[in-house]
Structure 1
Amino acid sequence: MPAVPAPPTIARVILDTPLPQLDRLLDYRIPAGMEGVVPGVRVSVPLRSAQRMAQGFVVELAVQQEHPGPLSDVEALVSSAEVLRPEVWRLARAVADRAAGSAIDVLRLAIPKRQVRVEKSWLAARARGAVEPAPLETRPTRVDGYRDSDIVELLAGGRVALAVDPGVVSQAGVWVGRWAVALAQLAARTVAEGASAILVAPDHRDARQLEAALAALLPDDRMVRYDSAQSDAERYRGMLRAMGSSPVVILGNRSAVYAPATRLGLLAVWNDGDPLLHEPLTPYVHARDAALVRQEQQGGALVFAGHTRTTEVQRLVELGWLGELGPERPRRARVVATAHAPGAASDEHARIPSLAWREASAALASGPVLVQVARPGYAPGLRCAECGTPARCRRCGGPLQQTRVAAAPTCLWCGVAEPGWRCVECRASRLTRVGAGTTRTADELGRAFPGTRVVVADGEHRVLEVDERPALVVATRGAEPIAARGYRAVLLLDGERMVARETLRIAEDCLRWWADAAALAADGAPVMLVGVGGRLAAALSTGNVTAFAQAELADRRALGFPPAMRVATLEGLPDAVAAARAALPAGAEVIGERAVEGRSRAIIRFDYAAGAAVARAVRAEVVRQAASRRKPVPGAPRTGRAPLPLRAHFDDPAPFEES
């Protein structure tokens, strides 16, 4: 008789610890009599060097130990729910390695904090066989506006940059963008064919549109919200639901890209140029990059959709890694670019040119008109009335602004009021306003159109939708509400102020802000772009965003800037940064370094082909520096956890942002 294989007695565990030197699988012995230790569960294990207990996840089981010395026992089984799925572990490990980070930091984004009550309820339902949704009785959904043969090819595992039509339509009584309907139909068709779909959107406004579009196509038990804006209990419940074997649509913000999905048929990212999709926590991985890694690992369709195209996506298109897919008969917003007359910039009454003024006046007779401005508040900029020096905060150096009429100036960065401000140059105390925010623009338009309803939508005034009655809707970029049947006209103001911001991505960002606002217009309604000409205005007017992305990428390539090249920031103690620089492989170039308050920051540039080698070298130095930190003196008072000697931030946008 063949020998019966011995049961596994070794659990390989990834520890939930911030120490980079422990970012590896550790072997622990499963004690006799302990049941339920399987891959994916939470366990408690001892850390002998620290003489304390730590929690972690079992990644795999083994019969033969890899560690040559004696092993510690697993202390306890914390939970029998297999919350770490194999596909999530592979993704976390690969994403962390690409960014020279720790896998557990990625898993903290992927797996919410344990909610005992929610988990017990789910385990009880699973024991009864009641966690799976009812069988789905639906036929494959057509994706409106696209050739069915293209959709079949895409869902067979294609990767595309998806162009979408502007405009709004009604879904389940809610007005949403046509883009949301297209992605919802793609997801519903994926589920109908037996696979799960993940839809990633930057913020709650986009997720709300997707949710409404999905509600018209799928039952509630086939939709899972997986969003960092949810409560801990709701997010944990969403993760458990996504772990089922039945196909579902998982919808959320940037963390949804890590949601469990054993059979992944579609991964779609909306508006990948939005900075909200860049993870602010270590290892700082953009949702777009995580999506690229996941699709390579699991297959399925990959979609990057938007009204515009980022240079990152354009680079992948030019490499042939992404295809291009657009509507069969594309729609286009009716955009007219208008410039101010000479000298009109200082004239508040000429802020809206006569042509745009006439279009807005005529449109107000039939419905709402959208007015997009650059900044919220009353006066987004303040200067000394005597010498013209910009007003800055005495505490942090941030720019001062005025949020309301006659209000004291406040700092845009730290929020501290400066009622006794004096100019650092001439000691004058009188301020003059620069520009007009949402509140001031609403006041001016309210006087110009007496009796017309005025709605303000910005960070302080959250408005998601407006009805089709006549109204002037003054909104900041990204905060525009959706209007029933679309806006009858759209005015894009402060264009010259938006493009004046000194960042690498400002042209991309402006085109995205304006195109997203223009997409809210009713079919055939005028869109007026004020104060901007040249290549940007031509791209918006003609709708040829692909040519604009090509030109932007060509400029970046000539300068050696991202995304033509990859960059990373090394920050820490000067000797640690110097050691990391010395350990860099050939092909990595240091393009800048500076020291601030005893810490140093170096910016390195390298080609994509050298990315893996650079990440390995930097990670090895991070681990070495962390392991060699001086231990605290026994008995000495603790003053909090000291920062790591060295930190790495790959694909860091900060060096190319405005200083």
Structure 2
Amino acid sequence: MSSEDTTPGGPPEQLALIRETVRRAKPRTWHGAHLAEELPVARVVVDKGLLHLDQFFDYAVPVAMADTARPGVRVRVRFGARVGAGGRREGGELHDGFVVARLASSDYAGPLAPLAQVLSPEPVLTPALLKLSRTVADRYAGTLADVLQLAVPPRHAKAEAEPSPDPLPPPAAPAPGSWQRYPDGPGYLAALTAGHPARAVWSALPAPDWPRAIALAVVSALAGERGPLVVLPDGRAVARVDEALTALLGGGERHAVLTADLGPKERYRAWLRVSRGSVRAVIGTRATVFAPVHELGLLVVWSDGDSSHSDPRAPHPHVREVALLRAAEEGAAVLLGGLAMTVEGAQLLRTGWARPLAADRAVVREVAPRIRTVGDGDQARDAAAHAARLPSVAWQAAREALGTGPVLVQVPRRGYVPRLACERCRTPARCAHCAGPLEAAGAGQVLACGWCAVAESDWHCVECGSFRLRAQVVGARRTAEELGKAFPQVPVRTSGRDAVLGTVSGEPALVISTPGAEPVAEGGYAAALLLDGWALLNRPDLRAGEETLRLWLAAAALVRPAGEGGLVVVVAEPTARPVQALVRWDPAGHAALELDERAELGFPPVSRMASVTGGPGAVADLLGLSRLPEGGQHGGPVTLPAVRGQEQERMLLRVRPAQGGALAAAVEAARIARVALRGAEPVKVRIDPLDIG
């Protein structure tokens, strides 16, 4: 935190005063417990998740719990109890919590309530994890309890009762392998083995071997007797890295996998192996960034622009930012890798915080597929594009490629026909009940609302009275149906939200996929068709171009190199910046240009932002209580769709990067102050929101 964040009388000091007042005033306590002779006070973080109770509370340690109520263990405590006549306790609900310290005395003047129960003697909350969780909570204007729910998995008693194996000796340092294609790759691996906190932003080559490259980095860190931690956006990516690591290390005993798909017991068992030091390497999805790896030496985040890395639960931390905070605190190396590059990655390079890891242009051209574009002008002159789903260029590319292997077709929208409009006047077809968009679920099926699901069997245009409809947007299922008719002898497979394919064979087939669900083809795809680029590029979002390029690069990287006939056809305006970056395969250049534009406009990451969403009165109330740092700016309000009939609006607060901590503290202090106003409308606050469009 900068000196600007700690100005006397500023938001951080005000927030600390509020917390201390709450901590001293809230606990209701009672006498009567036989206390431990040594360190009879336990300081506890209570799992309440309320901002005005975001503080430690002191409890008495009964003599029966003197040996088990150690720092880091889970306990149950009564919260909100009253002391009645004769010192008897009345009321108070049981809540879970963690012991964070044992003390000889408390600064609370009254009698202390005793701990109700020690749930487990397993110390799951380490001092390092506690400090990281507190830092993350402060950065995102959240509560420590909310962050701990993300960081520490639910307990499973049977898993705790099982012994964990002894750690294995470190492996030998691996050969550089595919890292030799990057000029600084072998040096980076050597730095990991030597235990240096090397920081890099890695522009991965368009090849299917990135999981093995990550595995080599993990083994290099293990060889230096340091613990590596890898966070990936989804279970399919985790499975690929797991397979590569298993192949390199000769089994799964040296690393743990943490994903929700494992189930509560297996996930907690794997987490315990990490916490107890049985394994030093861990890979997994979002919450893995908090895993208590011993002697942490490397943090890898793959595809940090993927929205899966931003937690949907409060306080909405982003994996990349948590990893950077943790690396700085624990002196670990960092590897932000991906086929694309985010503006945040570009800023880390521009400030010198990290070094680039990229291959020479000649190597990129050798492994990348050939890119062809089909713009609006091309389609206007293409008679076939009006009568069929595919422009002639794309249709011809698919026909030729199907002679040698599978063809990937990326469609931005799922469903059949998710958007309809009047054929005569182009007025969008809306539901008569809620004004939601009408959708066609299949050929010949009755229209239904995409919001309330009410069927509409007698639609007519409210503007011109026409009864005829046209498709504004065609979904993946409709595309699969049309391409199946165009290529009747070719198998058609679909991959999307309802059923995501992991892999497909190298036999000729059409694979229709929504963005992010593309399966890996054995031997690579012969061609890829990226349809309806306008649907991705024209979204009213600050990150639309960056996200579109990321999705395109991920699909194009599955295609064979140009030397082996690999071809990608992108249906989008050729002059658009993301299209040009795809043609040149230059994600770093695109990110640098995006960063320049953000700097001119004052948007993140060259500034820090908070979004405040709620009813107009509630938003104005919170902003009136907020003491923003000097130079802080308001943006808005922007009217949003009503929620349960209540009007909603959003305001954006913007400050300089060094004032990010002060912004979070100011907003948090204002939210705590509003708690005193009974019946106050809730307000949703999000620090550094991904979507500010």
Structure 1 residue 15 corresponds to structure 2 residue 60: no
Q: Tell me which of 122, 126, 131 is aligned to 1:85.
A: 126
Matched residue type, 1:324: P
Say if 1:373 and 1:477, in contact at 8 Å, map to a contact too: yes
Q: Tell me which of 584, 596, 604 is aligned to 1:562.
A: 604
Residue 322 of structure 1 corresponds to: 354
1:414 positional shift: 4.9
Say if 1:143 and 1:186, in contact at 8 Å, map to a contact too: no
Q: Tell me which of 100, 121, 140 is aligned to 1:59.
A: 100
Residue 298 of structure 1 corresponds to: 330
Residue 161 of structure 1 corresponds to: 201
- Report the secondary structure of 2:380's partner residue: coil
**CA distance 1:367–1:599, change in 2 (3 Å):** closer
Q: Equivalent residues in 2 for 1:204-243 (5 A)?
A: 204-218=235-249, 219-243=251-275
Say if 1:141 and 1:186, in contact at 8 Å, map to a contact too: no
Q: Tell me which of 20, 24, 29 is aligned to 2:60.
A: 29
**CA distance 1:350–1:115, change in 2 (3 Å):** same
**Alignment partners' CA distance in 2, 1:523 and 1:276:** 29
Residue 304 of structure 2 corresponds to: 272
1:424 positional shift: 3.7
- Report the secondary structure of 2:534's partner residue: helix
Residues 441-482 of structure 1: CA deviation (Å, up to 9, x unaligned): 222222222311111222233222110111111111111111
1:484 positional shift: 0.1
1:554 positional shift: 1.3
1:133 positional shift: 4.4
Matched residue type, 1:142: P
Residue 593 of structure 1 corresponds to: 637
Say if 2:165 and 2:278, in contact at 8 Å, map to a contact too: no
- Report the secondary structure of 1:40's partner residue: coil
Aligned residues between the structures = 623
Structure 1 residue 145 corresponds to structure 2 residue 186: no
Matched residue type, 2:685: A
**CA distance 1:424–1:80, change in 2 (3 Å):** farther
**Alignment partners' CA distance in 2, 1:391 and 1:145:** 53
Q: Tell me which of 47, 53, 57 is aligned to 2:79.
A: 47
Residue 690 of structure 2 corresponds to: 653
Say if 2:428 and 2:437, in contact at 8 Å, map to a contact too: yes
Matched residue type, 2:468: R
Residue 210 of structure 2 corresponds to: 179
Q: Tell me which of 621, 627, 631 is aligned to 1:578.
A: 621
Residue 664 of structure 2 corresponds to: 615
- Report the secondary structure of 2:540's partner residue: coil
Larger deviation, residues 35-44 vs 147-156: 147-156
Residue 88 of structure 2 corresponds to: none
**Alignment partners' CA distance in 2, 1:440 and 1:531:** 20
**CA distance 1:413–1:345, change in 2 (3 Å):** farther
**Alignment partners' CA distance in 2, 1:220 and 1:361:** 43
Say if 1:132 and 1:244, in contact at 8 Å, map to a contact too: no
**Alignment partners' CA distance in 1, 2:601 and 2:252:** 50
1:408 positional shift: 2.4
Say if 2:304 and 2:342, in contact at 8 Å, map to a contact too: yes
Say if 2:234 and 2:285, in contact at 8 Å, map to a contact too: yes
**CA distance 1:393–1:158, change in 2 (3 Å):** farther
**Alignment partners' CA distance in 2, 1:72 and 1:584:** 38
Residue 154 of structure 2 corresponds to: 113
Residue 29 of structure 2 corresponds to: none
- Report the secondary structure of 2:420's partner residue: strand
Residue 253 of structure 1 corresponds to: 285
Larger deviation, residues 100-109 vs 323-332: 323-332
Residue 68 of structure 1 corresponds to: 109
Residues 237-273 of structure 1: CA deviation (Å, up to 9, x unaligned): 2221211224432222111111111311111111111
- Report the secondary structure of 1:324's partner residue: strand
**Alignment partners' CA distance in 1, 2:97 and 2:61:** 14
Q: Tell me which of 564, 584, 606 is aligned to 1:542.
A: 584
Matched residue type, 1:530: V
Matched residue type, 1:613: A
- Report the secondary structure of 1:486's partner residue: coil
**CA distance 1:652–1:394, change in 2 (3 Å):** farther
Residues 550-601 of structure 1: CA deviation (Å, up to 9, x unaligned): 1111112212222222211224562574344442232221111257626664
**CA distance 1:502–1:106, change in 2 (3 Å):** same
- Report the secondary structure of 1:377's partner residue: coil
Say if 2:622 and 2:674, in contact at 8 Å, map to a contact too: no
TM-score by length of 2: 0.85
Say if 1:587 and 1:610, in contact at 8 Å, map to a contact too: no
Say if 1:181 and 1:210, in contact at 8 Å, map to a contact too: yes
Residues 76-130 of structure 1: CA deviation (Å, up to 9, x unaligned): 21111111122221111000001111011011011122222222x23xx2xxxx4
TM-score by length of 1: 0.89
Larger deviation, residues 40-49 vs 94-103: 40-49
Matched residue type, 1:59: V
Matched residue type, 2:591: A
**Alignment partners' CA distance in 2, 1:249 and 1:62:** 34
**Alignment partners' CA distance in 2, 1:17 and 1:521:** 50
Residue 491 of structure 2 corresponds to: 453
Q: Tell me which of 286, 294, 298 is aligned to 1:262.
A: 294
Structure 1 residue 312 corresponds to structure 2 residue 344: yes
Residues 29-71 of structure 1: CA deviation (Å, up to 9, x unaligned): 2222422111110112222456222220011222232323332
- Report the secondary structure of 2:178's partner residue: coil
**CA distance 1:576–1:501, change in 2 (3 Å):** closer
Runs of 5+ consecutive residues of structure 2 not aligned to the other structure: 1-36, 82-90
Matched residue type, 1:75: A
Say if 1:422 and 1:428, in contact at 8 Å, map to a contact too: yes
Matched residue type, 1:590: H
1:7 positional shift: 3.9
1:349 positional shift: 4.1
1:134 positional shift: 4.1
Residue 559 of structure 2 corresponds to: 521
1:137 positional shift: 4.7
Say if 2:258 and 2:270, in contact at 8 Å, map to a contact too: yes
1:653 positional shift: 3.0
**CA distance 1:148–1:311, change in 2 (3 Å):** same
Say if 1:167 and 1:486, in contact at 8 Å, map to a contact too: no
Residue 219 of structure 2 corresponds to: 188
Q: Tell me which of 301, 325, 334 is aligned to 2:370.
A: 334
**CA distance 1:152–1:581, change in 2 (3 Å):** farther
**Alignment partners' CA distance in 1, 2:244 and 2:435:** 45
Matched residue type, 1:332: A
Say if 1:224 and 1:238, in contact at 8 Å, map to a contact too: yes
Say if 2:506 and 2:522, in contact at 8 Å, map to a contact too: yes
**Alignment partners' CA distance in 2, 1:112 and 1:77:** 17
1:191 positional shift: 2.1
- Report the secondary structure of 1:18's partner residue: coil
**CA distance 1:89–1:433, change in 2 (3 Å):** same
Residue 174 of structure 1 corresponds to: none
**Alignment partners' CA distance in 2, 1:143 and 1:302:** 20
1:434 positional shift: 2.5
Say if 2:200 and 2:357, in contact at 8 Å, map to a contact too: yes
